[in-house]
Amino acid sequence: MDQIRLTVADMQQEEADLLALRSQQSRDSIRQTTLALSLIAILTLLLLVGFYALITRDLTRRKRAEAALQRSAQRLAILHDIDRAILEAHSSLEIAQSAIARLCYLVPCRQALLLRYDFEAGEAQILGNSSNGKVSRLAVGTRLPLASVLPNIEPSSPLTLSNPPHAAEALEATCPTNLLPEPTGEHETCLMLRLKSESTLVGELRLLGAHVATLTPEQREISQEVANQLAIALEQAQLREQLQQNATELENRVLERTAQLQAANTELEAFGYSVSHDLRAPLRAMQGFTQALLEDYQEALDEVGQDYAHRISKAAQRMDTLIEDLLAYSRLSRAELQLQPIDLTALVSEILVQLDLEIRQRHAQITVVPPLLSVMGHRVTLVQVLTNLLMNALKFVGAGVQPQIKIWAETQPDGVRLWVQDNGISIAPQHQERIFRVFERLHGTEAYPGTGIGLAIVRKGVERMGGRVGVESCPTQGSQFWLELPQAQS
């Protein structure tokens, strides 16, 4: 019995020990699990912190890159605006104001001021002024004495600099009080960027409140780039403005000379008309008395006297024809011509009827090739022009040669060209322009009578109607005169 109790007690003890061991193992397992979970939590937290740091740093870099990209875009925009202003031929004031207004957003300063120097006039002109939206007492276009801006430079002599052309030279200096946006009574420093053209100082870009030490390399680079571009732009604008001024002066001179020439021509035409008109009265008297002398006192005159009287009469007749041509030429120069559609076929037929006596006397053969089309012209003037051409074709032929005249028309890009071809004496190329001038004759009046004004009337009349006239001629083949007039709309 005792043995059983001992056995039971041992079993109970073993069970208690086993239970204690299991409890200890369970607690150890719990501690290990807790430790593992804690380590996992700590590692997770560290990973999250690391990821957060990486993301934050990436975002910071991205923001910095975006800011740098934005500044670069603004920087390029300024330079692009200046280049575009140069290409679009903007004025110096427009280029300057546009550039420095943008520059103030990229470079921290209280005021950006662009000056252009004129050493000959001893002046400095304000081309641009930007004070970050504040009202400045220095208006764009204001001119200041050069000595007040550059006190140590002789105004009469341009300042030459050693740097390469168009290279901005940056330095820090005290800004004159007359260039401050508002009078403060105190001296302020400014960053000066000198603008040069061919090593000569032409202006300055002054940034008030900007210090070389506080500006970033990028800001200094931007300022210098803008100054370099402005130097080129201002030089180009100044050259363009000077060219425009010279062109305007030249145009004014041309207009003035043209007006003087027109006035002189008008006076000359009026004088010619007056003289020609006043000469006809005594000329008619001379013709009348000569005719009376021949009719009433012919028997009292010997052959020499009668020959003299006939010569006087013929000379008076030639003078009357000359005066009539001068009057016709003067009228063409002065008259207002109203253009209207004219049928050339009908007009040429009328002119041939009027010249029928001369045609029959010279046994001329005239061929008209229809249709001659219609043109815009002045009827009276066109009759005179064609009459002169046909009379020349009848008159300027060799001795014993039957005049043969051919008339036809053809369309041209600029209108209708009418041809008058003859078999008369040819015209050398060097004389084909000369014959259309007043009083220009290739032959003496003994061989071919005339005044030397007929073809001048032809050219003047055709030009007054908005057309052109010319001649083509080959030796021994006669001449082909042509005139072009606008075609009438059907």
Vertex 96 angle, CA 91 and 101, to 5°: 135
Rounded to two decimals, what is the model's pTM?
Answer: 0.45
Vertex 151 angle, CA 212 and 140, to 5°: 75
* pLDDT at residue 185, rounded to an integer: 56
pLDDT tens across 249-272, in order? Answer: 999 999 999 888 888 777 777 776
Q: pLDDT at residue 427 above 80?
A: no
**In sequence order, what E strands does 131-208 have?**
143-145, 169-175, 188-197, 200-208
Burial 274-304 (b: 16+ CB within 10 A, else e): eebeeeeeebeebbeebeebbeeeeeeeeee
* pLDDT at residue 82, rounded to an integer: 63
- % the chain with pLDDT above 70: 80
Q: Which contiguous run of DSSP H or E holds residue 212?
A: none
| DSSP state letter for 337 | P
pLDDT tens across 444-454, in order? Answer: 444 455 566 77
- The SS3 call for residue 171 is strand
Say which CATH architecture domain 337-485 belongs to.
2-Layer Sandwich (3.30)
Number of Cβ within 10 Å of residue 403's Cβ equals: 22
Q: pLDDT at residue 364 above 70?
A: yes
- The SS3 call for residue 154 is coil
Domain boundaries, the chain: 86-245, 337-485
* pLDDT at residue 158, rounded to an integer: 47
CATH H superfamily, domain 86-245: GAF domain (3.30.450.40)
* pLDDT at residue 155, rounded to an integer: 44
Highest mean pLDDT among 150-164, 292-306, 335-349 belongs to: 335-349
